[in-house]
Structure 1
Amino acid sequence: METGQPTGAPIPSGTAPYSVPAYSSGSLVDVLKRPPTILRILEWFFAVISFSTIASYGKGATRTSEGGFMIFTGVVAWLLTMVFLAVYILRPPQLSGRVWAYFEVAVSAIWVVFWFAASIAVAAFGCIFDCSNFNASITFGFFSFAAWAASTWFAYMELRNL
């Protein structure tokens, strides 16, 4: 006998990413004003700048393992940031529980380590000529490291509140 009601336990209110309730008028603006969302937008820009500047440095840097790791870290971080932003904005109910919160903390923590390792590796690689793109990649790699560390902290604090 079907009653037309969804099956399973109801999703508690306030458990969407960063405790933003379902959409109401003006709630998209509220989502975009929250510190975790602002950090993810900054991470998106930092990742694009970091991997594009190291890729534009030339064949010498991109053929090394250090340059390749920076490009890998930046491209995957850029894609992950788009996923996180989509979840923050769309707030699908399937991704509003503890599993999503654990996933976000774990992925963010891993990417903190990746950004730190990639930035250190590229900085240790050294520069021979025309170092502006090279130095920009290192700088924005460290900016990304700091932004992902802050995002990890926000995600962990949200996990504690669930």
Structure 2
Amino acid sequence: MFLPSVQCDPGTAYTRTPLPFATSIEMEGNVYGAAKAGGAFDLENFLKQPQTITRVVSWVFSIIVFGCITSEGYINSHETSQLKCIFNQNVDACHYGVGIGVIAFLICIVFFGLDVYFPQISNADQRKHIVMADLGISGCWTFLWFIGFCFLTNQWVSTTITPDVGADSARAAIAFTFFSIFSWGLLSCFAYKRYRMGAEDFNEKYVDPSNDYPPYPNVTDNYQQPPFGNTARSESEDYKPPTY
């Protein structure tokens, strides 16, 4: 097997080009709704952002919901000292309201801290994972707040005897459960907007590397002649049959 000869011009300057599979994303400008990593943290600008305001509002709403239920959501009658849920004596209604309220309270704290730390993250993949988690959890809690509003309202309407103590707290829990649907829905919209910004930024900056490679200079298709190609004789020509 004979290989083609490659002739290189000594006066030609060659440059190194990256491999097609070794592409990377440089974080220039805004990536997933935040500025380039390494800049100074602007507290005033951060507190004025609609996403920050909405997250704080959602945090306050969650406190009101589980606070009203835990403080005056369990009452007892004059005949017994056993505490029962104010929502039609259905303990599942109280547990549901307290459960989603407490978890929403913790979620707001976690993502508020991530919002503060988010501009310092230099890895675009980590930013993407945080934004996707924010989008998924906010969308899920929007749905859970809607279920909670329907559940608590149905149980409150089904209550036969309106108690003298705790009625206002029950109504407040229902009202702020309803408000939480919109606040968490806004958080979902903000997270989706940040995700779209990151996806569009990647599509704009990505360049197909297959078109960036010039052909190799001074490559010829000449093949070297095999040594002794014309003078070598085959074994069949040298073979002489034996004489008997």
Amino acid at match of 1:150: L
Is 1:51 aligned to residue 87 of structure 2? Answer: no
Match of 1:160 among 186, 190, 196: 196
Distance 2:150 2:84 in 1: 17
Q: Secondary structure at the match of 1:19?
A: coil
- Runs of 5+ consecutive residues of structure 1 not aligned to the other structure: 1-8
**Residue in 1 that maps onto 2:181:** 145
106-115 or 127-136, larger mean C-alpha shift: 127-136
Which structure: greater helix fraction?
1
Q: Is the 8 A contact 2:31 2:197 kept in 1?
A: no
What TM-score, normalized to structure 1? 0.84
Q: CA deviation at 1:20?
A: 4.1
Distance 1:11 1:111 in 2: 34
Amino acid at match of 1:50: V
Distance 1:74 1:31 in 2: 25
Amino acid at match of 1:30: N
**Residue in 2 that maps onto 1:41:** 56
Identity %: 23
Bigger Rg over Cα:
2
What TM-score, normalized to structure 2? 0.57
Distance 2:184 2:54 in 1: 8
Distance 2:51 2:193 in 1: 11
Count residues in correspondence: 152
Distance 1:11 1:142 in 2: 42
Match of 2:143 among 101, 113, 121: 113
Q: Is the 8 A contact 1:46 1:141 kept in 2?
A: yes
Distance 1:10 1:153 in 2: 25
**Residue in 1 that maps onto 2:98:** 71
Q: Is the 8 A contact 1:20 1:31 kept in 2?
A: no
Distance 1:49 1:20, change over 3 A: farther
Distance 2:126 2:48 in 1: 19
Q: Is the 8 A contact 1:50 1:141 kept in 2?
A: yes
Amino acid at match of 2:55: R
Distance 1:21 1:60 in 2: 54
Distance 2:94 2:154 in 1: 11
Q: Is the 8 A contact 1:15 1:96 kept in 2?
A: no
Distance 1:135 1:38 in 2: 25
Amino acid at match of 1:36: Q
Q: Is the 8 A contact 1:70 1:118 kept in 2?
A: yes
Match of 2:85 among 61, 76, 82: 61
Q: CA deviation at 1:19?
A: 1.7
**Residue in 2 that maps onto 1:136:** 172
Q: Secondary structure at the match of 2:67?
A: helix
